Structure 1
Amino acid sequence: MRAIRRRPRPRSCPIDLAPTSIWDPIRLGIDENACSVDITLIYRNILLAGEPGAGKSGGLNRITAHAALATDCRLWLMDGKRVELGLWRRAAERFVGPDLAEAIDALGELQAEMDRRYDQLDTDGVRQIERQDWTDAIMLVIDELAYYSATAGDKKQRDQFSLLLRDIVARGRAAGIIAVAATQRPSHDIIPVSLRDLFGYRLAFRCTTETSSDIILGHGWHARGYDASTIDPEDRGVGWLLAEGGIPRRMRCTWLTDADIAAVVTAVTS
């Protein structure tokens, strides 16, 4: 397989600030043939993971930018470091920093909203929201998942957070609730199989071991040649995307600078 040659991250410059819809494809970047890589996240969830410095913030920011510009989507953000997604704070309906108790409260509110939506769907006699329906989608974006699920607070709090998140990821799709989670610690204690398998889409950036790669993509993919541990450490933003088609696709995420993000936030809040 021909590798993506090392070069600076591609950029969408100038960034398109036109309003979008969450029902439209999100452009993540390019593949090794320089073809556009697009995904649609309505009715889907996506997990992004890789070692520190692997470039997962590129993918995370591209997804967040699309949701921020979407006129039919509300952003809920959680960031254990505060500063990565903090740039998007003004565009978000809800922002949670490194506060596990607040994160649990927010997930509880989102779970209640999910249940309310299912009550409405049941009343309407339909199984899922549609593009023309009565409510906006909600995108929950969590960066530094490990902070909330394995580091902060006590075990009872961490377990409560994980249970709430698992329920939202498992049941939220038909109610228009999209979960996007990212971590730089791809290990079984952070991403148990029971949670990982609920994420229909997965994006594995550079990992230190083939085991870590399989924790993200799924068991056995490295043996079939899809191994994020073989990505050159200097190839930031390059990863294996498991999405439509069911076979991982090697790609490079488009990069957004802080100025690009500021331009998007200004466009959607002014």
Structure 2
Amino acid sequence: MTIAGQPGAGKTAGVNVLVAGLASRPDLVSLYIADGKGGSDWAWCSPYVTRYTNNDNFDDILAMLHEVRDLMRTRLRSNVAEHGDSNFWHWEPTFNDCAVVVILDEIQNWITPAVKTKETKEKSEEFIAPVIDIVKKGRSAGITLIAMTQKPTTDALPSVLCDNAALKVAFRCSTPEMAKSALGSLPDGSSSPTAIDFVQKGMSVMTMDSGMAEYVQWDYLPESDIPALLDAVR
């Protein structure tokens, strides 16, 4: 899944609600969250997830991705023997066999690092490889990867990533080119993120199975309220 849109459009606030819901069921879902900005937007979730990093260098994120990819490969090899079926979603997640959701916020900071050296180029390539692998193969292993970016361009969201994402979401985009990078080519008459006004926080366009795209309004839940809600239900 990819989520793109300009800064201030409501991406992180919208996904906060999604993450809060998933974090309320630690018996069924393991969450891995990485913040490429190196800020504190996701600091609230740290006590409730399997792994969290806001280190914007490559060390922590690569360790996280290799851990998830290793789990994916183990499940893909063992699903039939252990469950009689190759597809994780044909049985229910359990505490010992949770669904896994990986959220990479501001993914462009790892794909197109600001400081371009031989080392960062190599690290960026090392980053992209497991991301694409998980997006392509993760579903049958019960693993979902959500890539978020405020820079919906082809360099920040490579076409191989977008093409393999089962679901694409775009918050406000200022140009048709940005919208196309975020959602791909859409039929005439589809809803467009370029038509979303800046004051419409949390409004997005989501691709549908029909090939069209529709407007989707994301709810808002103040991040300061989420920990108390989670503590009450976990």
> Which residue in the other structure is 1:77 paired with?
33
1:32-43 pair list within 5 angstroms = none
Residues 127, 87 of structure 1: alpha-carbon distance in 2 compared, 3 angstrom cutoff:
same
Cα pair 2:34 2:52 within 8 Å, conserved: yes
- The RMSD of aligned alpha carbons is 1.8
4+ residue runs over 4 A deviation? none
Going from structure 1 to structure 2, the CA distance change for 1:86 and 1:135 (only over 3 Å counts) comes to same
> TM-score, normalization: structure 2?
0.88
2:211 is equivalent to residue 254 of structure 1: no
* Cα distance between partner residues in 2 of 1:191 and 1:169: 13
- Contact 1:51/1:185 (8 A) holds in 2: yes
Question: Within 5 A, what are the aligned runs for 1:199-218?
Answer: 199-218=165-184
- Alignment TM-score, normalising by the size of structure 1: 0.77
| Deviation readout 1:104-157 (Å, 9 max, x if unpaired) | 111011111111111211424411122166611111011111112112661110
Unaligned stretches of 5+ residues in structure 1: 1-45
C-alpha distance in 1 between matches for 2:87 and 2:5: 33
What's the counterpart of residue 24 of structure 1? none
Which one-letter code corresponds to 1:178 in the other structure? Answer: T
Counterpart code for 2:98? D
- Which whole-Å deviations, capped at 9, do the CAs of 1:88-112 have from their partners, x for residues lacking one? 1110110121231210111011111
Matched residue, 1:169 = 135
The aligned residue for residue 131 of structure 1 is 92
Report the alpha carbon displacement of residue 233 of structure 1 after superposing the two structures with TM.
Answer: 1.4
The structure whose residues are more often helix, as a share, is 2
Instruction: Assess if the C-alpha contact under 8 Å between 2:32 and 2:101 holds in 1.
Output: yes
Q: For the structure 1 residues 94 and 163, does the alpha-carbon distance in structure 2 shift closer, same or farther, using more than 3 Å as the test?
A: same
Q: Gapped runs of 5+ residues in structure 2? A: none
SS of the residue corresponding to residue 84 of structure 1 reads coil
Matched, 1:196 2:162: yes
The yes-or-no answer on 1:116 pairing with 2:74 is yes
Identity of aligned residues (%): 27
| Partner Cα distance (2:13, 2:213) in 1 | 18
State how far apart, in whole Å, the 2-side matches of 1:150 and 1:75 are. Answer: 25
Shift of 1:244: 4.7
Q: After alignment, is 55-64 or 201-210 more displaced?
A: 55-64
Displacement of 1:248: 1.2
Q: Indicate whether 1:264 and 2:229 are aligned.
A: yes
Matched, 1:88 2:50: no
**What is the deviation of 1:163?**
0.9
How many residues matched?
223
Paired letter, 2:42: L
